[in-house]
Chains A and B, each alone.
Chain A
Amino acid sequence: MSYASSLYFTGTEIGLSLAGLVLLLVVAWTGAKSARVITILAVSALVGAIAFTASLPTGSPADGFNSAFGGLLRMDSFAVFAKILIYLATIACLIITPRFFEERDGYRGEYPVLMLFGAIGMGMMVSATNLMTLYIGLELSSLSSYVFASFLRSDWRSNEAGLKYFILGALASGIILYGMSLVYGFAGTTDYSGIRAAFSTHFPIGALFGVVFVLAGLAFKIAAVPFHMWTPDVYEGAPTPVTAFFASAPKVAAIGMLVRMALVPFGGEVEAWRQIVIFASIASIVVGALGAIGQQNLKRLLAYSSINNVGFLLVGLAAATPAGASAILIYLVIYVAMTLGSFSALLMLRDKEGQPLETFADISGLSTTRPGLAWCLLFVMFSLAGIPPLFGFWAKFVVFQAAVQAGLVPLAAIGIAASVIGAFYYLRFIKVMFFDESKREPEQTSPMGHWVVLVVSVIVISPLGYFATPWLGSVASQAAAALFAVA
């Protein structure tokens, strides 16, 4: 490993940090009036980061040439895949953000800058091959998230969401850190392959405690049951563009980090963590499906939907096979598209005064008042429900296929049963929009950016997405192979 190659493989982080620092200076001098320009510049920095990441040589999975700084992080094809997805989701969130804040407290240039720093943290999370890198990336992305949650300072719900998220996030970080210290104590190293080597001969009971603590903390971060209680409150209270962000990019990062952590350092002790993951998975699917049924607030409902989706993602992790890991990556792509589509539609739902329409009663009869929007939402909801012609079905299919191949037939059966229950509330959206009487008159026009995000995500999840399956499948399985080659 030379210094030059280390710098080359961390090029995205370095480039994004420099962009963030320069933009921060610009914000400091020009103030709030340049916020939109800063947003555009931040988006172009992220586009540059995507281009650079995509151009990195990933090589064959086995050779470690893409390790940087003595194994602190690895830019393998798994990291490249997850990073590009994270940056794309961040860009989409930046596009749909400005109008929301401009109409309330005022949009500020610090928002896109913090978004860039958060993106750096998330990139570090998915490429970390050392517990220290992982923790620093996690904190970098979490700290910017706490700020986003309470960005709407005049709104007490936003403040409450920020405080709740901060306290529970800090608690989760502490739990993770404690677990890491146990793992470090028993393995004698923080390096992933070193931990795996140390545990391959002897796996002490204390290290098992460490693994459980780390998994519990990570379950907090991905909002898996039983550590999901904060999700509905935070998702409802946080400003809607911020909720869109929480449900997309950080979730990809946390899942990516969890997958790498479970399969690389603890990959030799699959039996030690598999039952935990299976429990969290079933519980998340069931709680996500049942909890959403009574909800009237659309943001709360989408929060339960994200808990439900995390459960399906964990099904793929429980398989602990390359097929399972690649299924998770495919699921993540489709999940991000569905999430961003539903939240940008939610942002477009406003009445004539610009007040958000946030409950089921508000969107009744949308098919007559805003037919275009209603049809897009129909696609998104059918896809979330996993109804076959749409791409959401494919996501669930690959995950369950991986679980069945790994011999987890009962898990797959429970998951499929619960996804039928979950379909109820997605279909309720469609019933309310298409078959109920319209009560409130929604605003007729929406900004271009929101439409672009919505239409792009609808195209991704439409049956057209199936044309991409051979390509997506091969990229995802190559990325998943990178995790298993380390062992």
Chain B
Amino acid sequence: MLQFRPAPALVGWLADTGVFALLLTTALAVTERPAGPQPRLRFNRDIRPILSENCFLCHGPDKNNRKAKLRLDVREVALERKAFVPGHPERSELIRRIYTTNVDDVMPRPESHRHLTAEQKQTLKDWIAAGAQYEPHWAYIQPTRPPIPPVKDRKWVRDPIDAFVLNRLEARGIAPSPEADPRTLLRRLSLDLTGLPPTVQETEAFVRHPGGHAYEREVDRLLRSPHFGERMAVPWLDLVRFADTVGYHGDQNINVFPYRDYVIHAFNRNEPFSQFTVDQLAGDLLPHPTTEQVVATGFNRLNMVTREGGAQPKEYLAKYAADRVRTVSTTWLGSTMACCECHDHKFDPFSTKDFYSLEAFFADIKEWGVYQDYGYTPNPDLKGWSNDHPFPPEIVVDSPYLHHRRARFQKQIDDLMLSASAALRGHGPQRDAFRSWSDSSAEFLRRWPSGWATPAPIVTLQNKDTNKPVAGDFVVEADGRVVLTGAGADRTRLTLKPPTGWLAAIRLELLPDARHHNRILRGKGQSTYVTLSAGLQPADGAKEKPIGFYFADADQKDERYSNGYAILGVTDAWKTSRQNLDRPQTAVWLLDPPVRVKPGDVLAVALGRSDAGCVRISVSPFGAEHPLDCGGGKLLRPTLAKSPTLLSPGERQRMDTTYLLSTAWNRDAFDRYKELDAQERECRGGKSPTVVTVAWKPRVIRILPRGNWQINTGEIVPPAVPHFLPQIPDPDGHRLTRLDLAHWLVARDNPLTARTIMNRLWKEYFGAGICATVEDLGSQGDWPSHPELLDWLAVEFMDSDWNIKHMVKLMVMSSTYRQSSNPRPELREIDPANRLLACQSPRRLEAEFVRDNALFIAGLLNPAIGGPSVFPYQPAGYYANLQFPDRDYSPDLDDQQYRRGVYIHWQRTFLQPMLANFDAPSREECVAARNVSNTPQQALTLLNDPTFVEASRVFAARVLAAKCKSDAARLNLVYEKALDRPVQPKERTSLEQFLTWQREHYQAHPEEAKQLMHDGLAPEPKHADEPELAAWTQVCRVVLNLHEAITRY
């Protein structure tokens, strides 16, 4: 086996930064060689650029363009074709050709218009004299910390980043740009670190005192902001292809938001990137992992999956495995391994075997090719699974957001009860009614101590279509039990006479019976669906009035699912539990609203067809928050027995709640209670399922020839890292695990990971990576603009224990970052892509931040952190092409509507149109860099999407509510809020004219003004001057549509 030797020459290279600067001065046409010993030449740094620029066109990799069968990019071929003789420039054809004056022989060919300087010729000569050594690709050499290069303008250098940048600029004779003005700078910083603009107050404070440590204080403040994690999460979620749906075919929901919360939280608490890596790839394999570490392993479950009928599990397992390799190689290694699924890489040293060996690390993940049990592809693990089921394995975790939200609703319920019940404490008819209810309740409990009455039922079996009775056997027992002994019917109808007074809850018990082998079900079934409906037949013979239910639940039940979510309660159907079939199971339905039973009224309860063997219906006058607490005799009796003045606050609230839910005496309060209760319930006890990695016996991974999963003869490969990179020590020959892989990715001698991460981080603050192809540091990737800077950052990152915030701070504190982004005409020719960083690069905001920004400016943004995905407005019918199950879209109708974009429900096959229009990826594949487009769809979105129209009108209302003396002052306020700067006179003039037109129009068309007030949920301000508000809404629409509003300068 080969032994690793740190490339000694590299050390020399990095030490010789003076020469480095020299090399970069080629444009300055240095004619005289500096005195002193010649530094050692390096192929990548000194030679490759010369050959590449002047020779490779005809003598490089492109075989179609190659002349004389000579290629100079491969040493062996160059030697074979006798291009040079190492150590002997005088005998080298290459040297002869570049020095000759013979026009037929000279290289480069005159017609190529390429020209070698005397210095370049000498360099080539020296290189051959020194042995003409080649070097492997830069990214595969372990980075070492280069020394800080010297610069002339030392005042400009705030941290080492600046030295590397300025060193190159000075070598080209280019001065850096001046620092951006404080307004621009703070807006830039705020958008870059949190994805949100500064407030007007923050801007003003900074503009007043921008000196000293003010900027650093802002940096620290923003790094501490909980929104930092949200902003950092966006590119990370693109990489790991985080989405709320599975992507293939039916594109069903998958429960995974706790993973997103984990990512946000990890960035906020500045988790070392090494730990961040280990937790996601292999948290489950750690000894005693925390819940969060297990949640992090959701990473391994973020690939697209299918449950399509007819899909072949093996084919899809191959797809999932390949997807993981692509994701890991792009995210951590900055390498494009995709092509190795079918053949060895054409440009980089990755082999097909490397691809499948990397796959093998993930072979232990518990998963299925097809997440359903079909006859043609049986999957006993998922028996009974439907399109609505979740995608196991999952664990249930606490969600701080949901807990908080739940507590909020509980508080609102408490407040509601306090205010609604005030009337009960006074001296009025309501108090009297309450007392009378208390008396009759006590009376009821004396007779039926449990709070439930079980009147004797009369039973009929019916056909559901004709309502006609059908034959069937049953027995009614004295205790109210109805034993269904026959085949059953569409409908079992029980009529009974409830006690007079209130009826607030109906209870159904399924009871074991000897005639059914002491089981609750007839036949051999394990579970049955029970549905219940009811009506009240008035004694006067009037038509039966249907009874509504707002919620029902059972003490035991099997879960039912709707597109991945467990359905709450059993209101529409109760799937009985397959456990404890020999014991009673009970469900309770809450009436909406409770009804008053008069003497002689008959309650009719209808049960749909089921396998229930023995049923009993009871009724209660007592409602409760939780159905199973109804009746509540034990709790209520002592309370009712007490004098109202002696009740504890808790007892009093229970009484008040019971009274409200039993009688709906205050209908508004009752309805509001139901609403809040439903919202509280939707918080699911503050818990959520989330997909995680569970390890099981590793699948056998074979190399698939040409990627063909049907070929079963490829070599079996154990887990292994790419063969040409430093290897994982394997002293005991155990099978390598995901944990080994994770540790290897963040090992000190891995040459790729730190560079890859730093390169991408750089892009977030400077617009482009140091290596512009952030997804590919391989040989087909871009040549880094500042390779030593990238290495310095990579080493600093590792030395800082993979400290992300430290690196972010270094970058944004630099003078390089703080430069103005005003383009410099003189640089357009020299450096059109701003690779030398002589100024900042403007950047259009990412899709999520375009939205956040508008909501923030309008004052609508809900800044809550974490939690389930949210559903903003979306054009109707957009999911019409989705099936299995069919999809409907209901936008959030509360404060969730105004959550940040990072939380938007990510439907892979039909991404929310606003996000899609602003280049958010569908997250089907790992994406390292988003497209940045500029399309008419973006214009239409900002102009007409209800989110932006609503933001404009709410923004306008805010501006109108502010104390301003004039339109001019108001326009200035609009600009301050939206663009963090004052309006300029010519802008103001133009907008004043525009405002005048809009006023005239809306004063003439007040009905249009009224219409404009109703786009979106936000209420129209009270007593609004509608035409005026409409006119200002138009102004705000204009401003929120400006290029400047969606750009960070």
A and B bind = no
